[in-house]
Structure 1
């Protein structure tokens, strides 16, 4: 196994198809599965440079963890697309090894840039006690004992419900859910794809809570949500079977065309809410024109009011507080 390549690697390419699971409405691929393709490209890049995730863990006890993923979707993927990913080393920022990922896809016989993403990777040393070799010195700068960039904890007020405190006085929706094992990897830690699932689901719950569920707008107006940009950063570790408190806050509705929202995730430990991840997502809405094509639309009053917190009463799925 070559080990110095993590610091000095060159560009790699790999062809990737989107997974069938991500084709939820017509044949378009959702943002979560686009990010899955980015993840797959990064892990293949490491593999091509002699650093497969499996061997790093089995031999050195190092878990390859994506801790930051910032993805812009420029062209929608369809289920049968064969996309080409190019992965290059990016400028390091002291939070792990960084990569730049670009996808192209063929449209009318020509390659079109479809995705641009920035990714950070950390090598998490597993302390579970199984015997492993000492990690090579060349990897040392990327090895950490704990994932994340860190963030200031929030002290829970005496007798307060975590979601009530976190959403009070804001245009937010809160959701608490126990982290299952299948959101984790390397035995116990919630992985980036788990947070991508959280982001996808909290958006779905938020829209239902506000009376503009995805099915409602689909049935009544042939509208679907589209995502041009998403980002998630891991701040600390959330563990298997902990309750994750996820708060989704609308930050800006831009000219009835797009809106941006922030996702913040916490776990409660010893009376303190520890931030474990933060992210942002940009949404627009599009009208379905035919089985393959859609076009962006301006928000109507119902959707605009819902996003601005002028509608919705809360549901059993979570707890919202409106401005």
Structure 2
């Protein structure tokens, strides 16, 4: 039997917590609904509050122990609509196994609808504590915390770089490079039903002086989807104006496989995996950097999309994908709307 954990670590591992949160106004892009990225942000905020209530807030973990809190996996299933004015009751339940080296939490997001408690989303959140080289810890770790502290976040798979990278255009290159005109993107996309995007990671997607954080990859996922749809002739504004359709997310997952460093060039490949019953399509996102002359796989994830149709002002229902849309999703040379 090991040493008795510090009370703060015991609270982190054993005590469920509840907090009331509101989504950020930035996430209200269509009608009065909140989008998937900001629903995930609410789950993240609930986990950060759980650490705070246990007595191990993020800032103190960093300042006292030299540990950067890293969400390394965020998996969410989205159900009922989350509205811009909703107050969310977020329940965090610890789910870390006794021998696990990652902290795991189940997060449920609930709102009141006509007096009924409705679950908007459920998430699984996995956390590691990254030992930071920028500072020196001033205190010993609380008992039981060391097993979650790591020198590095994963070691992503390395694959041969079979082409010569094209020099990046610098900070003025805007939203980066898309398509297979870039030789590295051409290698990664190959013959798959996929879309490639290369972009330098900005500091405002990062934290702890160095690394792209989970929220940054949520933004990359959303941006890759936006660029992909435009490339396939399904630009969101055009489809919204022409058909009253808007993409809706039912599930999302992102896992960090390695570290992506501030201002590294991220090669993102967005691959359509499945189109289900003319209602939903699933895409996989894979992110790479070039390091030491090889491609390093730093993140992966999946997202399931459908379309909502506005059949009356502020009234939405699932749309059935027509043949032109399915063809556009199915092939880089598909039909254009």
TM-score of the pair, normalised by structure 1: 0.93
Counterpart contact for 1:95–1:120, Cα < 8 Å: no
Q: 1:95 to 1:201 in 2, by over 3 A?
A: farther
SS of equivalent to 2:219: helix
What is the CA–CA distance in structure 1 between the aligned matches of 2:324 and 2:86, rounded to whole Å?
35
What runs of 5+ residues in structure 2 fail to find an aligned partner? 1-5, 166-182
CA displacement, residues 52-111 of structure 1 (integer Å, 9 cap, x when unaligned): 011110111111110000000111101001110000011438351000000111111111
Structure showing greater relative contact order (alpha-carbon pairs closer than 8 Å, 6 or more residues apart): 1
Deviates more, 1:2-11 or 1:201-210: 2-11
Whole-Å separation in 1 of the counterparts to 2:13 and 2:243: 51
Shift of 1:129: 4.1
The question of 1:35 aligning with 2:40 is answered yes
User: Do residues 76 (structure 1) and 73 (structure 2) align?
Assistant: no
Report what 2:178 is aligned to: none
Structure 1 residue corresponding to 2:124, chosen from 113, 118, 128: 118
1:299 Cα offset (Å): 0.3
Distance 2:134 2:184 in 1: 31
Offset of residue 258 of structure 1: 0.2
After the TM superposition, which segments of 4 or more aligned residues of structure 1 sit over 6 Å from their partners? Answer: none
Report the equivalent of 2:307.
Answer: 285
Task: Tell me the TM-score normalized by structure 2.
Answer: 0.89
- Note if 1:143 corresponds to 2:165: no
CA contact under 8 A between 1:27 and 1:291: conserved in structure 2?
no
Q: Is 1:109 the equivalent of 2:115?
A: yes
Deviations 1:208-246 (A, max 9, x none): 000011111101100000001000000000000100000
Give 5+ residue unaligned stretches, structure 1: 315-323
Change in 2 beyond 3 A, CA 1:158/1:287:
closer
Counterpart in the other structure of 2:234: 212
Give the SS at the match of 2:188. helix
Q: Distance in 1 between matches of 2:7 and 2:63?
A: 15
Secondary structure of the residue that 1:24 maps to in structure 2?
coil
Taking the aligned partners of 1:127 and 1:192, their CA distance within structure 2 comes to 20
Structure 1 stretch 156-165 or stretch 14-23: which is displaced more? Answer: 156-165
SS at 1:41 equivalent: helix
Mapped contact 2:286–2:299 kept (Cα < 8 A): yes
Matching of residue 189 in structure 1 with residue 211 in structure 2: yes
Q: How far apart are the structure 2 equivalents of 1:214 and 1:131?
A: 48
Residue 324 of structure 2 is aligned to residue 311 of structure 1 = no
Over 3 Å counting, the alpha-carbon distance change for 1:165 and 1:21 in structure 2 is same
Match of 1:245 among 254, 262, 267: 267
**Given that residues 257 and 299 in structure 1 are in contact (C-alpha distance below 8 angstroms), is that contact kept between their aligned partners in structure 2?**
yes
| 1:230 equivalent among 236, 242, 252 | 252
Q: Quote the residue 1:317 is aligned against.
A: none
Tell me how large the CA RMSD over aligned residues is: 1.8
User: Which of residues 284, 308, 317 is equivalent to 1:262?
Assistant: 284
- What corresponds to 1:100 in structure 2? 106
Matches within 5 A, 1:164-183: 164-183=186-205
Q: Does 1:133 align with 2:154?
A: no
Aligned to 1:54: 59
Contact 1:35/1:71 (<8 A) preserved: yes
SS in 1 for 2:146: helix
* Counterpart contact for 2:255–2:299, Cα < 8 Å: yes
Distance (Å, rounded) in 1 between the aligned partners of 2:67 and 2:333:
48
User: Counterparts of 2:101 and 2:27 in 1: how far apart (Å)?
Assistant: 30
Using a 3 Å threshold, how does the CA distance of structure 1 residues 91 and 132 change in structure 2: closer, same or farther? closer
After alignment, is 23-32 or 284-293 more displaced?
284-293
